[in-house]
Amino acid sequence: MVRELKEQVLEANLRLVREGLVRLTWGNVSGFDRERGLFAIKPSGVAYEDLKVGSIVVLDLEGRVVEGTLRPSSDAPTHRILYREFPGIGGIAHTHSPRATAFAQAGMGLPCLGTTHADHFHGTVPVVRELDPAEVAGDYEANTGLAIVAAFRERGLDPLAMPACLQRHHAPFTWGRSALESVENSVALEMCAAMALDTWSLRDGAGPLPGHLLDKHFLRKHGPGAYYGQKTG
């Protein structure tokens, strides 16, 4: 099972490249085996073209490396906190995709302007506050995870209904039920950010999608009576 998890995480990281979401070594994807309490993640600073199954590092939720010889991504503590605090998620992607990162750097949430956004995110993708000097000087990456968790709890957001956030001055994080689903949400986030910027270039101040359309499009894919796509099993 650990081998299978590492294979999934390798494929998810390589998909970041195929989707044009990363440059250089910016970004990482992890996947979580909740039964074993282990997650696999890209190693730190390794070029995507050099990644192999054996490169992927496996850690427990205390941050201890249990398999692998390379150093895990420097963002591993953020992933660890999110897995610990967000039940139901099984994969996390972190990118510096240009348009979503522009929203993060501007400290702007990404509002839902149309049904494409509503198919993936139930409302405005939130901005998470910047860390203060003490948090940065301390356990910076773990504190990033704690700030994300606090923002979702303060706003009453369901991480599965809002599988993304924009860390102010930093970049986006997305998640899902698997590593590959977290990457799909990164693709959707970048596309929605691009469409929002194009929309505002055509009509400055274009407003949000009406609530009844937002709910319809989100719930037809993700709600208890979802009917989008094909049934499995």
Cβ-based neighbour number of residue 128 at 10 Å:
22
Is 228 catalytic? The answer is yes
Among the options 119, 139, 140, 215, which is catalytic?
Answer: 119
Cβ-based burial of 225 (10 A; exposed 0-12, middle 13-18, buried ≥19): exposed
- 125 neighbors 134 (Cβ within 8 angstroms): no
Whole-angstrom Cα distance, residue 230 to residue 228? Answer: 7
Among the options 132, 158, 198, 228, which is catalytic?
Answer: 228
Helices 76-85 and 140-154: crossing angle, nearest 10°?
30
Is 75 catalytic? The answer is no
- Kindly give, in sequence order, each residue whose CB lies less than 8 Å from that of residue 133, ignoring residues fewer than 6 positions away: none
Whole-angstrom Cα distance, residue 6 to residue 25? Answer: 18
Angle among Cα 166, 169, 175 to the nearest 5 degrees reads 25
Dihedral angle sign, alpha carbons of residues 94, 100, 102, 105: negative
Pairing of strands 164-167, 127-128: parallel
Query: Starting from the edge strand earliest in sequence, which strands make up the sheet with 65-67, in order?
Result: 65-67, 57-60, 38-41, 28-33, 91-94, 172-176, 164-167, 127-128
Cβ-based neighbour number of residue 17 at 10 Å:
15
Residues that are catalytic? 119, 228
